Amino acid sequence: MSTWRGEAGVLRAIKEPFSIEQVELLRLDPTRVVVKTHASPFCSTDVKNWKGLLYKIPPTILGHASIGEVVEVGSAVPESAGIRVGQRVVVPGTPECGHCYYCSIGEPWQCSELFDLGGIYPDIARGDDGALISCAGCVGGYAEYMSISGNQVFPIESDLPSDVLSMLGCGISTGVGSVFNIARVQPGESVAIVGAGHLGLWMLQAARLAGAGTVVVVEPHEGRRALAGELGADVLVDPGAPGAGGAAEGATEGAADALAAVRAATGGRGADVVLEAAGPAVSQSFSVQAARRAGRIVLTGFEIGGATLPLPQVETALQSRSILSSQNGQVHMKSDLQRYTGLLERGLLDPDPIITRRYPLAGLDLARDRSGTLDDVCGIIVFDH
């Protein structure tokens, strides 16, 4: 049993700068493994966590997706898991325990090991002041060492660098999985993507791979619209701007114009598939209305714990739209991970437009600020051991 001590970016208090400090992992539970972190994407969800909007309780280490190298394996981790010291592993935001109700019926993205914790995450480390520190989302990727359930590490074989592969655990699984596993986009179908951040831009690439017809991207940030254009979007819509022929200045009328623009680009009906990757409830209501009758809508975003979603009754109840929930893209990590890695390796998915910058752990506050201002599509926290 070794002692693992290293730097971590600890959320000590809501809305306060991250505390970059030395922590020591607690004695390893036999069901867990210790992973030396290579890279963790700074996810926009952690801007919300930092603001205290999603029930994460300090002191905690944020970062719910990561990649690294196994340095210790607990004695109760089964050999069949293929996890050994030195193995590179992806650490996604969702475990697959294999035996809970959800895993046993083939829906591991709702695994009880995470979602029946009641939002209370295990303490994994101790600060030099004696404080017990939890790992938010059971990952805690903004740290040099992670203590992770043996059910939440997945061996990966690839020559690609870890900063690219770190995105497999959140943005790629959710974005690409939403297209292939949930919406199941068919060749020629029209697709509208609401929000062109790190999820939306993966969705866009996956929709193109699936052979989508017209792809419309709705995004208020000019730079992100430009990236969507480079990645093959046919129609770019600014929901904050008055549309052609409109003189609206308010957001509501801008949204109405945006809705009209989506419909105009999709035969006047609305899109066959709408992929929402924005978060605000208004974006999700918009997404439902932007789909045609009997269309499919995949919702991935969330804004604040306890928020509710207003939906138009006729369009929702009477017009056969299917509203689908995406948690981790409904991926099966054990099978989908290596397939998505293959798409990256063959250049069919391009990470370059999505990785805006790389930061050392000391740059965690800067990464958060630039995620919050939308300047970064995705900043990657990289570790130089």
Which parts of this chain interact with Zn ion (CB under 5 A)?
A: 43, 45, 97, 100, 103, 111, 170
Nearest distance in Å: CB 281, Zn ion: 19
Closest approach of Zn ion to the CB of residue 325, in Å? 16
Half-sphere exposure (Cβ direction) of 59: Cα atoms closer than 13 Å: 21
Q: Which is nearer to Zn ion, 100 or 297 (CB)?
A: 100
Can you tell me the distance from the alpha carbon of 33 to that of 74, in angstroms, rounded to the nearest whole number?
6
Given the complex with Zn ion, which of 212 and 377 has the nearer CB atom? 377
| Smallest separation, CB 237 to Zn ion (Å) | 25
Q: Please enumerate in sequence order all residues whose Cβ is within 8 A of that of 166, keeping only pairs 6 or more positions apart, or say none.
A: 38, 39, 40, 41, 65, 66, 67, 90, 380
- Which CB sits closer to Zn ion, 101 or 322? 101
Q: Give the shortest CB-283-to-Zn ion separation in angstroms.
A: 17
User: Residue 152: which of 133, 132, 131, 173 has the closest Cα?
Assistant: 173
Closest CB to Zn ion among residues 45, 149: 45
Distance CA 171, CA 142 (A): 16
Q: 87 has which bridge partners?
A: none
Helix (H) or strand (E) holding 45: helix 45-50
Closest alpha carbon to 176 in 203, 196, 198, 213: 203
Cα 279–Cα 206–Cα 173 angle in degrees, nearest 5: 60
Say which amino acid occupies 246. G
* Chain residue at closest Cβ approach to Zn ion: 43
**Closest CB 348 distance from Zn ion, rounded Å:** 22
Comparing C-alpha atoms, which of 378, 382, 344, 360 is closest to residue 36? 382
22 contacts 7 by C-beta, under 8 angstroms: yes
Q: Give the integer Cα–Cα distance in Å for 355 and 198.
A: 9
Shortest Å, Cβ 213 to Zn ion: 29
The smaller minimum CB distance to Zn ion, of residues 47 and 237, is found at 47
**Is 77 or 170 the residue whose CB approaches Zn ion more closely?**
170
Identity of the residue, 103 or 259, whose beta carbon is nearer to Zn ion in the bound complex: 103
Q: How many residues does the chain have?
A: 385
- Could you tell me the smallest distance in angstroms from the CB atom of residue 112 to Zn ion? 5
- Picking from 301, 63, 18, 54, the residue whose alpha carbon sits closest to that of residue 166 is 63
Q: Beta-strand (E) ranges in the chain?
A: 5-11, 19-25, 32-42, 60-61, 66-73, 88-91, 123-127, 132-135, 145-149, 154-155, 191-194, 215-218, 235-237, 271-276, 291-299, 322-325, 355-359, 378-382
- Give me the least distance between CB of 64 and Zn ion, in Å please: 6
CB of 296 to Zn ion, least distance (A): 23
Farthest CA pair distance, the chain: 70
Nearer of residues 92 and 295 to Zn ion, judged by Cβ? 92
**Nearer residue to Zn ion within complex by CB, 111 or 354:** 111
